[in-house]
Amino acid sequence: MSEFDCLDPVRKALLDDLDEGFAELYGAYRGLVFSAALRLSGRWADAEDLTAEAFLRAYRALAGYERRRIAELQPRAWLMTILMNIWRNCARAKSRKPPPDLREEPVDDVDPGEDVEDAAVRRETGQELAELLSLLPEEQRAAVVLRHVVDLPVSEIATVLKIPQGTVKSHVSRGLKRLRTLGGAR
Amino acid sequence: MTQDPLLTGLAALAAEPPEALLDRIAARWVRVPAPIGELAVAFTDHGVAYVHAGEGFAEAYRKRFGRPLLPAARPPAGLLPALRTGRTAGLPLDLRGMSDFQRDVLEAARTIPRGEVRPYSWIAARVGRPRAVRAVGTALGRNPVPLLVPCHRVTRSDGAVGDYVFGAAAKERLLLAEGVDLDRVRALADERVFYLASDTTGVVCFPTCHNARRITPVHRHGFRSLAQARAAGYRPCRTCRPAQDVAV
């Protein structure tokens, strides 16, 4: 029995072997990180870039961590924090450039490799809502995506966004309200 | 209780990343046979990134590239024939993260054919930095893909094989296995002969150029410098390109 036997499989694997552990980490959280990246950025290509960058940074950070720090890691909140930092930096860098014309740059959230028919079905159901999400102010969009797209608990979102739980809740409810208004206006 | 359609809609916006995304993040690795024993090779979706002999492969890769390393089911296409034949021209390499100078040096070394050698100063001239001979040596010493970029074919002009990532002894073994007559190169260097010219073709070459190896003894003339060969009326070979100012 080792002192780390009670850990979840991801952290156990990371402690055993960094590279095999990384494969576990990626397998467990790739959908979560990618979904958040896709709905925050609104673009498939940006979501791939953000996800790749987040996991690469995570690996490089893990390579420098002590065993104790890995054992105490909350992988999900930690990964989402890395993603949010990258996304904010990207958004900041983009905001220094002239803003894109939304009419010319529709939200492109379709996997270029996806079957045309699948894409059409998903487009009908999700496309409009995804576009509305991209109209929310950043902090509301972040709170709504983390709470309702990737289903993180409010306490974890507070950790990730480094804001009080009450503020998370108000961002979420304002974001949802705005989505309903925007949806009704269409 | 009926579900709020907005919340249901938001939950349905979750998506899985494409399979290939992992290969943008992690490298794959395999063990393969090579002329100097078993090697560990790491490759990415851009090409082969790292070739390592002996212990400590994973640690060395992590320290140098900081990228996850996962086992591969099979070697990348073209790797085994490239190692077997020493002909590596078509094999994609991942040289990201290197400086422009390092990449230029490696690309120049890559043009040296099997069975031939070139001096360090030749690479320096090829990359447009004729005085940076020492920096060329350093860049070749940091070659992440030995054998695939055949840095072992770059040797000292005094006839010694010079340093090598896998050691000077391995360099000598590789060159002999590729058919380089090292004894002859050394004998010529002892006589201060670094270029060979043919009075039938009027062309001057590096001694290991396949054109130079065909010159019969009666027509062969040795030179210490290219300037002397030119003064004697010879033009630099277009194959081994001892002079950089000659069009191919």
Q: Distance (Å, rounded) from C-alpha A139 to C-alpha A123?
A: 25
Q: Catalogue all structural domains in chain B, each as residue range(s) with its CATH number.
A: 23-84 (3.30.160.70), 98-180 (1.10.10.10), 192-248 (3.40.10.10)
DSSP state of B86: S
Kindly report, residue by residue over A41-91, the tens digit of the pLDDT: 999 999 999 999 999 999 999 999 999 999 999 999 999 999 999 999 887
Confirm or reject contact between B73 and chain A (CB < 8 A).
no
What was the pLDDT predicted at A104? 46
B219 in A contact zone (CB under 8 Å): no
For residues A177 and A166, is the Cβ–Cβ distance under 8 A? no
Residue A12: exposure state from Cβ atoms within 10 A (0-12, 13-18, ≥19): middle
Report the pLDDT value the prediction gives residue A103, as an integer from 0 to 100: 47
Token pair of A24 as six digits: 């576990």
Q: Which residue of B has its CA nearest to A46?
A: B17
For residue range B144-202, what is the model confidence (pLDDT) as tens digits? 999 999 999 999 988 889 889 999 999 999 999 999 999 999 999 999 999 999 999 99
Contacts of A149 in chain B (CB under 8 A): 10-11, 13-14
Answer yes or no: do A31 and B16 touch at CB < 8 A.
Answer: yes
**pLDDT for residue A94 is more than 80:** no
pLDDT above 80: residue A1: no
Sign of the alpha-carbon torsion through B129, B130, B134, B138:
positive
Looking at chain B, the whole-number percentage of residues with pLDDT higher than 70 is: 97
Count each helix (H run) and each strand (E run) in chain A, helices first.
10, 0
Contacts of B17 in chain A (CB under 8 A): 30-31, 34, 47-48, 51
Please indicate whether residue B245 or residue A128 has the higher confidence score (pLDDT): A128
Shortest CA distance from B68: residue in chain A: A19
Q: Which residues of A touch B14 (CB under 8 A)?
A: 31-32, 35, 149-150
B81 phi, psi to nearest 5 deg: -60, -35
The mean pLDDT of chain A is 86
Task: Evaluate whether B244 touches B237 at the Cβ level (below 8 Å).
Answer: no
Q: What separation in angstroms does the CA of B68 have from each of A14, A19, A52, B24, B44? A: 12, 6, 12, 10, 10
* CA distance, residue B1 to nearest chain A CA (Å): 18
CB-closest option in B62, B66, B70 to A23: B70
Contact check, Cβ <8 Å, A183/B26: no
Residue B46 is classified by DSSP as T
* SS3 category, A134: coil
Least confident of A115-119, B15-19, B178-182: A115-119
- pLDDT reported for residue B243: 84
Enumerate chain A positions whose Cβ falls within 8 A of a Cβ in B.
18-19, 22-23, 26, 30-32, 34-35, 38-39, 47-48, 51-52, 55-56, 59-60, 63, 109, 111, 113, 125-126, 129-130, 133, 144, 148-151, 176, 179-180, 183
For residue B24, give the chain A residue with the closest CA.
A52
From B25, which residue of chain A is nearest by alpha-carbon distance?
Answer: A52
**pLDDT value at B114 more than 70:** yes
State the pLDDT at residue A123: 53
Task: Report, as an integer, the average pLDDT of B25-35.
Answer: 94
Q: Is the pLDDT of residue A113 over 90?
A: no
What is the rounded average pLDDT of the residues A9-23? 93
Percent of chain A at pLDDT exceeding 70: 80
pLDDT for the residue numbered B247:
42
The stretch B48-61 carries a mean pLDDT of 94
**Number of neighbouring beta carbons within 10 Å of residue A57:** 16
Minimum distance, in Å, between the CA of residue A151 and any CA atom of chain B: 8
Note the pLDDT tens digit of each residue in B133-142. 999 999 999 9
Domains and CATH numbers, chain A: 1-96 (1.10.1740.10), 112-186 (1.10.10.10)
Q: Is B209 a catalytic residue?
A: no
Q: Does B13 touch chain A (CB under 8 A)?
A: yes
Residue B140 sits at the vertex; the CA angle it makes with B138 and B145, to the nearest 5 degrees, is: 135
